């Protein structure tokens, strides 16, 4: 088969399998441009950390002006593409308004992201400096871009929020949906394999380890068997919670109470009270108070009381 024959076969496939073509439609946002936008935003959030040459206090006004102009143009262009895709009226004007709204959030985003950096430094005894956290810890990229994408998500900009978080996902292996609501002082140690779904909420001072999933238990479907969009599907995590490696917490009605600890490899589909510890003892899931010794041990569908002194 020569190249001409391959070309003709591809053209025939485009005609017959149209579901994965985007031809004669609006210009979609560019993945390359969005990736550059993500990198530029990290420069604006953390001036002096990602530049090739040192940045002085005297250089800062010109640097910020230059980065703002660059991001402003690119962001407005990509938002307009997204709005035109969604057939939003007066897309250019709305894109300009949304761009200004997003950029105006940067000072507040920096305050919030600073708490995430502090949480990483305080939460990892291996960390030697804040500089090491910002330059080398994947959670900084993931959480920073998710917080930015969350602003776009609430402005109802399609496509772009998910593309921004996917840039971080590709770089780190950590997938946080732009719709998830994250509190301050959030730390994801190691990052790899962490998944946080769209309708999850996370309180303040929460620490996750690698492989944690905050996911959906099941999907509600309509009469045609298609998943219903926009319903609460993912769990709520209280404040001052630690979730250890490869724990899986599922369901929109599931809540982990404040000041609780979820052990490694725990599979949880029911709520946990405040100040609880959940872990496996043999094949049984144990949920006990961090203050009292009385525990609930799950054996199949039955719950039994026992006294536990191991933790």
With 90 as the cut, is the pLDDT of residue 287 above it? yes
Q: Can you give the three-state secondary structure of 227-278, one letter per residue?
A: ECCCCCCCCEECCCCEECCCCEEECCCCEECCCCEECCCCEECCCECCCEEE
What separation in angstroms does the CA of 190 have from each of 142, 155, 181, 271? 11, 31, 20, 26
Q: What is the mean pLDDT of the chain?
A: 91
Angle at 258 between CA 253 and CA 261, to 5 degrees: 90
- pLDDT at position 294 is 54
Whole-angstrom distance, CA of residue 13 vs CA of residue 87: 28
- pLDDT at position 305 is 46
**Which among 238, 231, 241, 289 has a CA at the least distance from the CA of 261?**
241
Q: Are strands 207-208 and 248-250 parallel, antiparallel or unpaired?
A: unpaired
**Which among 42, 18, 16 has a CA at the least distance from the CA of 172?**
42
Whole-angstrom distance, CA of residue 73 vs CA of residue 99: 9
Whole-angstrom distance, CA of residue 250 vs CA of residue 269: 5
What's the pTM value of the predicted model, to 2 decimals?
Answer: 0.89
User: How many residues does the structure list for the chain?
Assistant: 311
What CATH number has the domain spanning 25-171? 1.10.3130.10
Given strand 236-237, what is the order of strands in its sheet? 181-182, 201-202, 236-237, 255-256
- pLDDT at position 301 is 47
Query: Which alpha helices (DSSP H) does the chain contain, by range?
Result: 3-16, 31-45, 60-85, 91-104, 106-123, 130-136, 138-154, 160-172
**Domain map (residue ranges) of the chain:** 25-171
Percent of the chain residues topping a pLDDT of 90: 79
pLDDT digits (tens, 9 = 90+) for 133-185: 999 999 999 999 999 999 999 999 999 999 999 999 999 999 999 999 999 99
């Amino acid at each position: 088969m020569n190249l001409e024959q391959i070309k003709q076969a591809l053209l025939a496939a485009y005609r017959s399998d149209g579901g994965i073509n985007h031809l004669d439609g609006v210009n979609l946002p560019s993945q390359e441009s969005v990736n550059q936008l993500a990198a530029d935003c990290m420069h604006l959030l953390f001036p002096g950390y990602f530049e090739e040459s040192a940045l002085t206090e005297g250089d800062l006004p010109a640097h910020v002006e230059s980065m703002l102009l660059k991001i402003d143009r690119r962001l407005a262009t990509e938002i307009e593409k997204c709005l035109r895709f969604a057939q939003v009226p007066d897309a250019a004007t709305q894109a300009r308004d949304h761009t200004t709204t997003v950029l105006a959030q940067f000072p507040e985003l920096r305050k919030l992201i600073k708490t995430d950096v502090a949480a990483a430094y305080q939460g990892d005894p291996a960390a030697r400096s804040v500089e090491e956290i910002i330059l080398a810890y994947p959670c900084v990229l993931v959480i920073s871009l998710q917080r930015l994408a969350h602003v776009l998500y609430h402005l109802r900009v399609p496509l772009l929020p998910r593309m921004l978080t996917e840039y971080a996902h590709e770089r780190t292996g950590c997938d946080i949906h732009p719709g998830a609501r994250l509190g301050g002082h959030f730390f994801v140690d190691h990052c790899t394999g962490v998944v946080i779904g769209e309708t999850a909420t996370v309180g303040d001072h929460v620490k996750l380890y690698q492989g944690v999933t905050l996911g959906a238990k099941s999907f509600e479907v309509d009469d045609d068997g298609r998943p219903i969009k926009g319903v609460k599907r993912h769990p709520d995590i209280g404040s001052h919670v630690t979730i250890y490696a490869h724990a899986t917490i599922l369901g929109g009605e599931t809540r982990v109470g404040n000041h609780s600890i979820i052990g490694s490899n725990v599979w949880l589909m029911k709520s946990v009270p405040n100040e609880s510890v959940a872990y496996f003892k043999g094949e049984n899931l144990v949920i006990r108070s961090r203050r009292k010794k009385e525990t609930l041990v799950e054996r199949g569908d039955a719950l039994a009381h026992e006294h536990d002194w191991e933790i």
